[in-house]
């Protein structure tokens, strides 16, 4: 399925500032960038960097005082790989690929080390496969209220576990923390989402099961088949869509995701959606 993505961000800069963006979509085996265009107005200079392991694409913009406008457009072919979830088991610690271990450890917003008993109490008895991560998502959906503005950039999974309110990033952080507390590697993903109202950057998560990463979204806000990946990391600290250093005020954010494939649009699915690592062979 083909998507047109458009992202326009405007800022007011009060004095020399640096802004780090992670808004360009990731190129990988399930999502191919057909066309891409980046327009920057008002910057002194800018450069780009793609991270080695996860191929996150960072854009640094240095800007003096005045208005700044970033415009990013892309056309992307997305071929989500959907599998029946029944056969996907958790991987025992003794057999996990050692390179996924970093996603087992606690991070800034996913203090899994403080949620061990909580996770064990709620999910410890469940069958150790794909359905257990689904149960985690269901628990979050049922017990945490989705409320815009109820949390801030310092809110972590430990807070959300008790305060029971948040937005997509908090839902993802809590899902990740629960997974890690159960020895399931899990990581944070950001993306553009088809059919998200109001339009915004979206966050969800992946769990490592059956030797691949599978996509989960506890918010149930959009079909998982319409998610176009931007960044992947341990939590929001790694792949915030914009990190601002200096006296910078966002003025407007306009996002649009259109489906270009005639007669098709992303549909909800009960299937498991697998991710193929960007720089490796087939799973």
Rg (the chain; Cα; Å): 19
CB of 134 vs a copy of itself, minimal distance in Å: 20
Cα 8 to its chain centre, rounded Å, is 19
Using CB under 8 A as the criterion, which residues of the chain lie in contact with a copy of itself when the complex forms?
A: 16, 18, 20, 45, 47-49, 51-53, 58, 60, 62, 93-94, 98-99, 101-102, 105-108, 111, 113-115, 117-118, 120-121, 143, 145, 153-154, 158, 161-165, 183, 237-238, 243, 245
Q: Which of 251, 249, 250, 252 is nearest to 14 (CA)?
A: 249
Q: Which of 116, 86, 67, 96 is nearest to 208 (CA)?
A: 96
CB of 166 vs a copy of itself, minimal distance in Å: 10
Q: Which is nearer to a copy of itself, 80 or 157 (CB)?
A: 157
CB of 88 vs a copy of itself, minimal distance in Å: 21
CB of 18 vs a copy of itself, minimal distance in Å: 4
CB of 196 vs a copy of itself, minimal distance in Å: 24
Q: Which is nearer to a copy of itself, 83 or 150 (CB)?
A: 150
Query: What torsion, rounded to 10 degrees, do the Cα atoms 98, 99, 101, 106 define?
Result: 160
Rounded Cα gap, residues 225 and 255, in angstroms: 18
Rounded Cα gap, residues 124 and 170, in angstroms: 22
Q: Which is nearer to a copy of itself, 111 or 217 (CB)?
A: 111
Q: Which is nearer to a copy of itself, 2 or 60 (CB)?
A: 60
CB of 136 vs a copy of itself, minimal distance in Å: 15
Q: Which is nearer to a copy of itself, 34 or 101 (CB)?
A: 101
Residues paired with 77 in a beta bridge: 2, 32
Q: Which is nearer to a copy of itself, 107 or 225 (CB)?
A: 107
Rounded Cα gap, residues 221 and 195, in angstroms: 9
Rounded Cα gap, residues 24 and 241, in angstroms: 9
């Amino acid at each position: 399925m083909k998507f047109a993505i458009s992202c326009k961000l405007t800022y007011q800069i009060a004095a020399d500032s640096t802004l780090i963006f992670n808004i360009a979509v990731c190129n990988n085996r399930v999502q191919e960038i057909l066309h891409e265009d980046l327009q920057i107005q008002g910057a002194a200079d800018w450069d780009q960097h793609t991270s080695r392991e996860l191929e996150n694409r960072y854009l640094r913009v240095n800007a003096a005082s005045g208005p700044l406008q970033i415009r990013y457009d892309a056309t992307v072919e997305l071929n989500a790989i959907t599998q029946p979830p029944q056969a996907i088991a958790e991987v025992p610690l003794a057999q996990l690929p050692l390179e996924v271990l970093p996603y087992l450890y606690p991070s800034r917003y996913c203090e899994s080390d403080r949620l061990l008993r909580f996770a064990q109490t709620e999910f410890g008895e469940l069958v150790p496969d794909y359905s257990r991560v689904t149960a985690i998502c269901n628990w979050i959906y049922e017990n945490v209220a989705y409320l815009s503005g109820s949390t801030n950039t310092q809110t972590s999974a430990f807070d959300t576990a008790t305060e029971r309110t948040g937005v997509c990033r908090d839902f993802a952080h809590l899902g990740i923390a629960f997974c890690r507390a159960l020895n399931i590697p899990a990581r944070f993903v950001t993306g553009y989402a088809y059919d998200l109202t109001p339009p915004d950057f979206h966050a969800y998560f992946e769990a490592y099961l059956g030797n691949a990463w599978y996509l989960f979204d506890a918010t149930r806000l959009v079909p998982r088949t319409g998610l176009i990946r931007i960044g992947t990391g341990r939590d929001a600290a790694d792949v915030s869509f914009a990190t601002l250093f200096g006296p910078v005020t966002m003025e407007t954010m306009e996002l649009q995701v259109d489906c270009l494939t005639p007669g098709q649009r992303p549909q909800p699915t009960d299937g498991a959606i697998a991710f193929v690592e960007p720089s490796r062979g087939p799973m």
